[in-house]
Amino acid sequence: MRWSCRRGRGLVVLATAAVALPLTATLSPAAADTPAPAPVATPAPVAAVVPQPVSQQALPGGEFTLTAKTRIAVLSRDSAAVGVGTYLSKLLAPATGFDLQVVRTTKAPDKAVVLDPNGPKELGAEGYTVSARANGIVVTAYGAQGLFRGVQTLRQLLPAAVESRTKQSRAWTVASTEISDSPRYEYRGVMLDVARRFFPVEQVKRYIDEAAAYKINKLQLHLTDDQGWRIAIDALPNLTKVGASTQSGFTGGTGWYYTAADYKEIVSYAASRFMTVVPEIDGPGHTWAAQTSVPELRCDDKYARPYSGFDVKVSLFCLGEQKQMDATKNFLQTVIKAVAELTPGPYIHLGGDEVPDATTSEQYDSYVKTVSDATTAEKKTVMGWHQLGQSPLPAGSLLQYWGEDDDRKTIGTAKEALGIRHLRAGAAQDARFIMSPSDHAYLDMQYDASTPYGLKWSGFVPVQRSYEWDPATVTGKLDGTGVIVPAQKVAGVAAALWADRAYEGSNELPNAGTRWPAPQEYADFMSFPRLPAIAEVGWSPQSARDWNGFRQRLGLHGPRWTAAGIGFYPAPDVAWAGTAGIGLEGVHTLTTGGKALNVPGSSTASGTQLTTATADGGSGQKWSFTRYSDGTYALVNQASGLCADVNRGFTSAGAKIIQWTCTGTPNQRWIVTPVNGGHTITSAKTKLLLTAASTADGALITQRAAKGTALQKWTVE
Ligand code: TNX
């Protein structure tokens, strides 16, 4: 007896289950202009596993309780399988405070967590079963990789607090359940744009862990672009001396690249999470950084000046002159050889996207031939953006499709988009494909108007959009017909976190006051909850996926991310569990500079300017946050019932913040953004920040341009 989710009428459908499971209610979407009520989620009947397993059955019977004495028993001498046991023990240690012993044995002991890699071959490399009963848990797979995937599921069967990095005093129980699972697609990737924004090794490792928890198994590193070259190549020291000295918005760096040792460390850390690193060396466009370092690549033979800007299509190698073609060939052979030697995985991604419009097809073809020859010479598989499909490719190449609905709409018409024609040309060469449609899988697209970072050229991508698509039909027309890439040629999916606009206020170019979050902070906010959504698109059978079930299962992961310290976006379309994931809905005290946001004298008069004052616990200092469907908040004072308001919607810096009858107009909508150790509170209308004049009692509140100062950082309690 199994339960499963089906598409249709938007309800979680429960088949006859062994125990009565509460049916989760469908929540109606909030009307656009009224504050959305705080979503109420029913507690999960069984643990909410993401990605959704192929089958999951709740069983009667008691719970298993993990204690300090529980052993992790690995039924194998295989070091990779034992390694998964050690990984699990270390994973559980911080929150439980247990140092669980890992034993190798041939017989499953009682009351243990048993890892058995000797399951049937039919499970495949990544399939597994989890059988949890009161007297023990058994994870079975065909090899270590499947065990690792099963361990990620087991982790989600434990209470959310297990993700905490500090010891939590509580019972560690797992309800009786039976799970059987294997992936839809072999390739489930995520790309980090370390070229536009350099991610230090530690932050890459952390991201690997976050992604591996959702069974992502490929990490594409976008290592080269106009704004930076990030991988050391011994024979070409300028690439890191000069080419790595810029990022989008930064100049003068000396260490913004991975040494060979750094890169190896990333590769081996990823491998320990059964994740393959796919290095990307982009060209023939996106190559300005290379041209700052190797003048022979340029028609004028001169070093290009380092570029730290925000544009695309700004560069091309000199393709046409024999002398430069020879230099380019040498360069590519050197680079590809060095990267191939450092990369145990089968793929090298050659980019191929966004060349300047004037590029001829002869130039493009000649580049693709040179670089793909260099790649196959190293016995690596050619991967590239779907534009690469326009040129002849080696057999078995893998193309990454990043088109959007607007391209798909042209399929079969007289004016097919160029991208669609390139896609067709790639499909005609029998290439396999990874699906990264920009309007579903690009993590740098803004969720909604409140998103402080990223772009929206492919439209807003709320969580629902990142979830509701099918890799098998995403290269067809919107009605699902006219599919260009046949289903059997779809190798998987990949999310892509571009980082050319990884700063606050990214709808405009940055200025001196712009806040640049740490790469990890940017990555967390843009990836969670969308990366888990894309992970499920790649893993779970299409028939087992439905948005209404997903938004409730996903909502139960908010507390996990909170416990793990992942700074996620509490997106309004997810049914967050309890209070943990629902953002800031509820009543809060706001403090800055040690003083509380205050209506002087708890006045109920409309037009009273807000101040900060010594905290007194009174209702004049209590603010109820009510979220609108666009992700902004109304801030309602609890003494007056009036809303925080930019006086008459003035757009000038220095305008007063007053209280006024709540109207829901943009000058009463506030974008509340987590910043290190606090929040900024930005007017949705004016994009200026709620700012206290000083730390004095009665300091006046106005709106000011973002300066990153302490009096613009609010603690929300
Ligand atoms: C397009 S689509 C790019 C990147 C940008 C990204 C920003 C593609 C393969 N390339 O160069 O960073 O848009 O959204």
The pLDDT of residue 624: 87
Beta bridge partners of 178: 57, 131
pLDDT digits (tens, 9 = 90+) for 186-229: 999 999 999 999 999 999 999 999 999 999 999 999 999 999 99
Q: Answer whether 354 contacts ligand 1 (Cβ < 6 A).
A: yes
Q: What is the 3-state secondary structure (H, E, C) of 14-28?
A: CCCCCCCCCCCCCCC
Q: Answer whether 353 contacts ligand 1 (Cβ < 6 A).
A: yes
- Could you tell me the distance, in angstroms and rounded to a whole number, from the CA of residue 253 to the centre of ligand 1? 23
User: Quick one: average pLDDT of 541-559?
Assistant: 94
The pLDDT of residue 46: 55
User: Quick one: average pLDDT of 19-43?
Assistant: 34
Give the 3-state secondary structure of residue 377.
helix
Residues 451, 462: Cα–Cα separation, whole Å: 10
Q: Among 435, 500, 507, which residue has the most ligand 1 atoms within 8 Å of its CB, making it the best to mutate?
A: 500
Q: Supply the pTM of this predicted model.
A: 0.80
Cα angle for residues 235, 240, 244 (degrees, 5° grid): 150
Q: Answer whether 455 contacts ligand 1 (Cβ < 6 A).
A: yes
pLDDT digits (tens, 9 = 90+) for 616-656: 999 999 998 877 766 778 899 999 989 999 999 999 999 99
Residue type, 165: R
pLDDT digits (tens, 9 = 90+) for 376-394: 999 999 999 999 999 999 9
For residue 354, indicate whether it is catalytic. Answer: yes
Closest CA to 644 of 584, 678, 597, 592: 597
- Type and span of the H or E element at 441: helix 438-441
pLDDT digits (tens, 9 = 90+) for 463-504: 999 999 999 999 999 999 999 999 999 999 999 999 999 999
Backbone angles phi, psi at 247, to 5 degrees: -140, 175
Beta bridge partners of 455: 445
Q: Answer whether 378 contacts ligand 1 (Cβ < 6 A).
A: no
Specify the ligand 1 atom closest to the Cα of 445: 14
Closest CA to 683 of 701, 710, 709, 661: 701
**How are the residues of the chain apportioned to helix, strand and coil, as percentages rounded to the nearest 5?**
30, 20, 50
Q: What Cα–Cα distance (Å) separates residue 363 from each residue in 316, 325, 453, 498, 649?
A: 10, 10, 35, 26, 54
Do 698 and 599 touch, CB atoms closer than 8 A?
Answer: no
Domains defined along the chain, listed by start: 2-9+184-564 (3.20.20.80), 19-181 (3.30.379.10), 586-716 (2.80.10.50)
The pLDDT of residue 578: 60
Q: Answer whether 402 contacts ligand 1 (Cβ < 6 A).
A: yes
Do 103 and 74 touch, CB atoms closer than 8 A?
Answer: yes
Q: What rounded mean pLDDT belongs to the chain?
A: 91
Our CA dihedral for 162, 576, 178, 55, rounded to 10 degrees, sits at -140
Specify the ligand 1 atom closest to the Cα of 196: 12
Ligand 1 atom 8: the closest Cα is on which residue?
A: 353
The pLDDT of residue 299: 95
Residues 226, 196: Cα–Cα separation, whole Å: 8
Q: What is the CA radius of gyration of the chain?
A: 27
Residues 590, 312: Cα–Cα separation, whole Å: 41
Ligand 1 atom 2: the closest Cα is on which residue?
A: 402
Residues 227, 409: Cα–Cα separation, whole Å: 33
Do 185 and 218 touch, CB atoms closer than 8 A?
Answer: no
Q: What Cα–Cα distance (Å) separates residue 335 from each residue in 191, 279, 384, 631, 673?
A: 20, 11, 16, 45, 41
Give the 3-state secondary structure of residue 404.
coil
Alpha helices in 274-351 (DSSP H): 288-293, 322-342
The DSSP code for 566 is -
From the candidates 354, 378, 416, 468, give the one annotated as an active-site residue.
354
The yes-or-no verdict on residue 302 having pLDDT over 60 is yes
Backbone angles phi, psi at 644, to 5 degrees: -60, 135
- Could you tell me the distance, in angstroms and rounded to a whole number, from the CA of residue 455 to the centre of ligand 1? 10
Half-sphere exposure of residue 315: CA atoms within 13 angstroms, side-chain side: 28
